Amino acid sequence: MSEEHVKRRLAAILAADVVGYSRLMEANEERTVSALRHHRREFFDPCVVKHSGRIFKAMGDGFLVEFGSVLDAARCAVEIQTGMQERNAGVPEDRHIKFRIGINVGDIIVDGEDFYGDGVNMAARLEGLAGPGGIACSAVVRNQIGNKLELEFIDQGEKTVKNITQPVHVYFINPKGVRGGSAEVSQKRVRTDKPSVAILPFSNMSNDPEQEFFSDGITEDIITDLSKVSGLFVLGRNTVFTLKGKAVDLEMVAKQLGVSYLVEGSVRKAGNRVRINAQLIEGATGGHVWAERYDRDLLDIFAVQDEITKTVVEQLKVKLLPEEKRAIEQVSTGDVEAYTYYLRGRQLFHTRIKGSLLKGREMFSKAVELDPLYARAYAGMADCDSALRSKHGVDISVEDVLATADKALAIDPNLAEAHAARGVALTIADRREEAVSALDRALALDPNCYEAHLYTAEFCLGAGDFERAAKHYMRALEIQPDDYRSPIWLRNAYQALGRPKEAAQYARLGVKRAEEALRLHPGNSKPAQLGAIALASIGDRDSAKEWLARAIEIGPDDNIARYNAASTYSQLGEFEKAIDFLEICLPQFGPDLKRWFRNDCDLHPIRTHPRYPKLLELGG
């Protein structure tokens, strides 16, 4: 465009962006796209038109809107943020569609239907400084609005932003109830959104890579403690751990995760000494809010975690309620050695193969030997025992498993993971009503407990309650974005419900996640087992057989691998092979897995085979 044809005009620009869009898409792409389309059609776009605006650029998760009046732009921003709070009501917080909004007034260059220039760029930068559900504006916007609208302007001072030479004076807008012209916006004062923070996985700086579990454990415990603070929105462990070991651009990560602040750090453990570096970073600018280094005796590790948690709360100016302060200060054990064994056990349990479960149980057992009142370690023992008994045929009495879970609950009656562990043990014992009660209690105590949702989904799938199974598998895969099990079994539930399109969608997601799990843990056959089933279900025969061969090579004596091989061959139409594997593994299964066998839709193709009645006897 030649200089003589350049058209310029003064305009108010509103930039809006969906908070944490990448995270929402990773958790559930189809639902996120559908929800955003729904909000736009019913609310966002009509709101823009109502206030005389025009969307001149839409970028999937972001929008640029032109207004002739800064007052119209502010009214529209307030109505959007107020309305989205109401529209998100009743939806789990990690599924909320929230916007950040920036408003600027400036000179824009007109190029057909598109605009660009410093006025547009500044609006986009201001949007990045706003918190989730918040509105940020420049000083010129604040001055032009003056007292014409009932707005509270919160001075943030000058901020340096990317690709803008001069610092910008920023204000946050907090509506107190707005009237103007014929448009009337809700009189309810909008709740100032909670500060949002993600604790990135602390780096292991020890010379020994085996100490990785220790830095992971410290990260998880800081997340757990900060999650107890009602004035904060803290991303869960499983969302942030998808970034583990990756070099990241902090500003980009904050935007992708949809948080205003990040905590990052490192851990160096040597003998009886530990050095922890921690820093709090403003997501929009990458600037440091606070940083500290702790050189302490290993025995002081719990005090350091407590100090980091309280400092983050203080720096974010969040009020810590007395009961929250007590909850943060209450540690599950005061014994550092027991804590270290527990962390090792938890790391081993997550792989869920026989060898790691046996070793994990040993670690939990050592933890309770050192601290007989360590409730979480007892819950870990019960989980290992349940998996070893039901999935791998190890001779462990279900009464002993229940007794271990009950020890955890006697120490801490409100420990969600202990109720979940008890629910699994009761399922194995075929005490189904009691199992439902225990799992429901776990979900009530912690609606974001991954294990509680996974165990409940497994219970429902085994019982043939496919709708409820799908609901809990969906929640599990959202809570843990690197989980490959939930999408693959969700595929199973959708297949049973006669929804093949959704079944194929989650099969592909499961394969993608299983591939990453195999890369990280090449000695764990479980991702290859389940990946083979998913690949067979979408007709990729060659890949399914390749993955299955890898699973059998890693765990040739794994009883669950044999069952999953049968499921794979059943879908591939190789029925004799499927039945051969089932005849080996079914006699070793307990009531819960035999019930699963009878309802497993992956085995539907073999149910008319002449050898199937014998399988029913084995799985009776």
With 0-12 / 13-18 / 19 or more C-beta atoms within 10 angstroms meaning exposed / middle / buried, residue 166 is: exposed
Name the residue with tokens 């639902």.
31
Q: Do 326 and 232 fall into the same domain?
A: yes
What pLDDT, on the 0 to 100 scale, is given for residue 547? 95
- Which tens digit of pLDDT belongs to each residue from 294-348? 888 888 888 888 888 888 888 888 876 777 777 767 778 888 889 889 988 988 8
Q: What span, in angstroms and rounded, lies between the C-alpha atoms of 560 and 357? A: 14
- Which tens digit of pLDDT belongs to each residue from 414-429? 899 999 999 999 998 8
Q: Do 273 and 296 fall into the same domain?
A: yes
CATH number at residue 143: 3.30.70.1230
Tell me, yes or no, whether 466 lies in a domain: no
What residues form DSSP beta bridges with 169? 158
What total of structural domains would you count in the chain?
4
pTM check: above 0.85? no
Range of 155-159, 178-182, 316-320 with top mean pLDDT = 155-159
Tell me, yes or no, whether 389 lies in a domain: yes
Task: Give the number of other Cβ atoms within 10 Å of residue 317's Cβ.
Answer: 8
CA trace torsion 134, 138, 142, 144 (10° rounding): -130
What pLDDT, on the 0 to 100 scale, is given for residue 193? 55
Share of the chain above pLDDT 90, in %: 35
Beta-carbon contacts of 324 under 8 Å, excluding residues fewer than 6 positions away, are 228, 229, 230
- Which tens digit of pLDDT belongs to each residue from 67-124? 989 999 999 999 999 899 888 877 777 788 999 999 998 877 766 666 677 788 889 8
CATH number at residue 554: 1.25.40.10
What pLDDT, on the 0 to 100 scale, is given for residue 412? 93
What pLDDT, on the 0 to 100 scale, is given for residue 470? 92
Tokens of 446: 């912690």
Q: Taking residues 373-385, what's their average pLDDT?
A: 95
What pLDDT, on the 0 to 100 scale, is given for residue 544? 95
Tokens of 217: 């454990």
Q: What span, in angstroms and rounded, lies between the C-alpha atoms of 601 and 590? A: 19
What pLDDT, on the 0 to 100 scale, is given for residue 176? 56
Q: Given a cut of 90, is residue 366 above it in pLDDT?
A: yes
Range of 280-289, 338-347, 435-444 with top mean pLDDT = 435-444
| Of 287, 315, 331, the domain-final residue | 331
- Which tens digit of pLDDT belongs to each residue from 3-53? 445 577 788 999 999 988 877 887 777 788 888 988 998 899 999 999 999
Tell me, yes or no, whether 524 lies in a domain: yes
> Looking at per-residue confidence, does 300 or 359 come out higher?
359
| Exposure of 196 in the CB half-sphere (CA atoms within 13 A) | 25
Q: Which of 98, 87, 93 is nearest to 61 (CA)?
A: 98
Q: Given a cut of 70, is residue 182 above it in pLDDT?
A: no
Q: At what angle do helices 450-463 and 466-479 cross, to 10 degrees?
A: 160
What pLDDT, on the 0 to 100 scale, is given for residue 480? 76
Q: Do 308 and 266 fall into the same domain?
A: yes
Q: Do 258 and 388 fall into the same domain?
A: no
| Of 447, 466, 481, the domain-final residue | 447
What pLDDT, on the 0 to 100 scale, is given for residue 434? 95
Tell me, yes or no, whether 483 lies in a domain: no
Contact 473, 489 (CB under 8 A): yes
Contact 96, 109 (CB under 8 A): no
What pLDDT, on the 0 to 100 scale, is given for residue 113? 62
Q: What span, in angstroms and rounded, lies between the C-alpha atoms of 242 and 236? A: 11
Of the listed ranges 114-123, 180-189, 206-215, 395-404, the least confidently predicted one is 180-189
Per DSSP, the chain holds a count of helices (H) and strands (E) of 27, 16
Q: Taking residues 208-229, what's their average pLDDT?
A: 82
What pLDDT, on the 0 to 100 scale, is given for residue 44? 93
Tell me, yes or no, whether 488 lies in a domain: no
CA distances for 401 relative to 378, 422, 620, angstroms: 10, 8, 24
Q: Taking residues 537-555, what's their average pLDDT?
A: 92
Tell me, yes or no, whether 458 lies in a domain: no
> Looking at per-residue confidence, does 614 or 23 come out higher?
614
Q: Given a cut of 90, is residue 529 above it in pLDDT?
A: yes
- Which tens digit of pLDDT belongs to each residue from 239-251? 777 777 777 788 8
Q: Do 327 and 337 fall into the same domain?
A: no
Q: Do 36 and 153 fall into the same domain?
A: yes
Q: Given a cut of 80, is residue 190 above it in pLDDT?
A: no
The domain containing residue 210 runs over which residues?
A: 196-331
Q: Do 211 and 277 fall into the same domain?
A: yes
Mean pLDDT of the chain: 85
Beta-carbon contacts of 195 under 8 Å, excluding residues fewer than 6 positions away, are 131, 231, 232, 233, 260, 261, 316, 317, 318
- Which tens digit of pLDDT belongs to each residue from 477-520? 877 777 888 999 999 999 989 999 889 989 998 999 899 888 87
Range of 251-255, 263-267, 391-395, 399-403 with top mean pLDDT = 399-403
| Of 301, 331, 361, the domain-final residue | 331
Q: Given a cut of 80, is residue 351 above it in pLDDT?
A: no
Q: What span, in angstroms and rounded, lies between the C-alpha atoms of 103 and 74? A: 8
Q: What span, in angstroms and rounded, lies between the C-alpha atoms of 302 and 299? A: 8
Q: What span, in angstroms and rounded, lies between the C-alpha atoms of 485 and 356? A: 17
Q: Are strands 233-234 and 196-199 parallel, antiparallel or unpaired?
A: parallel
Tell me, yes or no, whether 218 lies in a domain: yes
Q: Do 179 and 73 fall into the same domain?
A: yes
Of the listed ranges 96-105, 402-411, 596-605, the least confidently predicted one is 596-605
Q: Given a cut of 70, is residue 163 above it in pLDDT?
A: no
The three-class DSSP label of residue 299 is helix
Torsional class of 90: left (φ above 0), alpha (ψ -120 to 50), beta (otherwise): left
- What band does 184 get if pLDDT is binned at 50, 70 and 90? very low
What pLDDT, on the 0 to 100 scale, is given for residue 420? 94
Contact 615, 584 (CB under 8 A): no
Tell me, yes or no, whether 463 lies in a domain: no
> Looking at per-residue confidence, does 368 or 346 come out higher?
368
Contact 169, 157 (CB under 8 A): yes
- What band does 154 get if pLDDT is binned at 50, 70 and 90? confident
Q: Do 261 and 139 fall into the same domain?
A: no
Phi, psi (rounded to 5 degrees) for 190:
-75, 130
What pLDDT, on the 0 to 100 scale, is given for residue 191? 38
Share of the chain above pLDDT 70, in %: 93
Task: Give the number of other Cβ atoms within 10 Å of residue 405's Cβ.
Answer: 29
Concatenated DSSP letters of 133-157: T-EEEEHHHHHHHTTSS-EEEEEEE
Q: Do 308 and 339 fall into the same domain?
A: no
Q: Do 345 and 264 fall into the same domain?
A: no
Q: What span, in angstroms and rounded, lies between the C-alpha atoms of 248 and 198? A: 13
Q: Do 92 and 219 fall into the same domain?
A: no
